[in-house]
Structure 1
Amino acid sequence: MPHEPLIAVFVDFENLALGVRDMGSDAFRVELVLKRLLQKGRIVFKRAYCDWSNYRGTVREFHSHGIEMVDIPRGKVSGKNSADIHMVVDAMDLCYSKQHIDFFALLSGDSDFSPLVSKLKENEKRVIGCGVKSSTSDLLIANCDEFIYYDDLVVAAKKRPPMKKKGKDTSDKKQEAAERLLEIVRSLEGDYDPLWGSLVKQTMRRLYPGLNETYYGYRTFAEMLESVA
């Protein structure tokens, strides 16, 4: 079984919320970002920073995804930088204390995090950035090992046909299996050559932990892969 990269996620929520508002989209959909990150590894740490009194509607959704929310009330003097400082301090503390973490995902478009990215890379961590195209610093993008544009995730989600609800027959389940496997393979093939079946299975377990080959009507995972090859 290949090594499963471990990912820590840090969210500068106000930066994202303002960016999403400016792009004329609905509320920020954190599940789209988490799903993309799960295609890369196992998420072992999730923390978001904001003055949550301004975004009460988001609290329940973040709780449902197991994200720890750090409340940073906006003061007359501290302003937004207080959240940034907390996030930087926590990220560096995790970098030094949890050396098994491979990736740091920074969800923000703020150029103020560029020094943090550099410091994490000095400590042999890979950094994935994520932000809205129109409100993300070019400096931050260039400094990250990889950058995910939130806009692209939204567009891809709109193109994806909705999964059928319960009551599926065997053919429906096998069609669903094919769609999910192809989605995973396409997300991995740019990063892995060759792409092993064990890695595809590992990724599928992260994305859909309650499902397995038996659910889709196959005896083994290899049989399921062969059916869509």
Structure 2
Amino acid sequence: MIIDAMDLLYSNKFDAFALVSSDSDFTKLASRLKESQIYVFGVGENKTPLAFRNACDDFIHTEVLRAPEMDEVPEATTSKPQTKPTDGKRSKRDLCCDTRLINILRNSVRDNADEDGWANMGACGALIKRQYPDFDARTYGYPTFTKLYEATELFDIDKRKSGSARLLDVYVRDKRN
């Protein structure tokens, strides 16, 4: 596969590669592709070595791609079981106890903040993905960065209308400021 990837690289026909593996043997390939200005998507399990995850521009854990499991919840009034999705959302307490997560979120806001302490959410998310290619809000049970920031209750969120009346720009500020 590595030889085929290198042949494809030299054809200059591709802007991105997706490496679907949890094997550290592909770390060097990911690094080589990035050196050639090729965007590298990595997809693998949580057990994927950190070196491989960091060698990619964007790394997605397969665990966040799986459909939510269905739990059977019996209803008291009927004998028919109902299904309820398990969302896997971490509680505010669990999120706030994760010092690594809180540091990542706070640092992204600090590094992108204007003089009033507000930072564009898109810039914060982009910075986090650049620094931690395997970071994904879905890992914590939230579909977006905005929902993750909101769940911690450590940040103010401001949704502002942009040039187009249909679009909103989202800004975030650390409540400590």
Place the TM-score, normalised by the shorter chain, in its bin.
0.3 to 0.5
If asked which structure has higher relative contact order (CA below 8 Å, sep 6+), I would say 1
Q: Determine which structure has the larger strand proportion and give its number.
A: 2
TM superposition score normalised by structure 2: 0.39
Structure with greater Cα Rg: 2
TM superposition score normalised by structure 1: 0.31
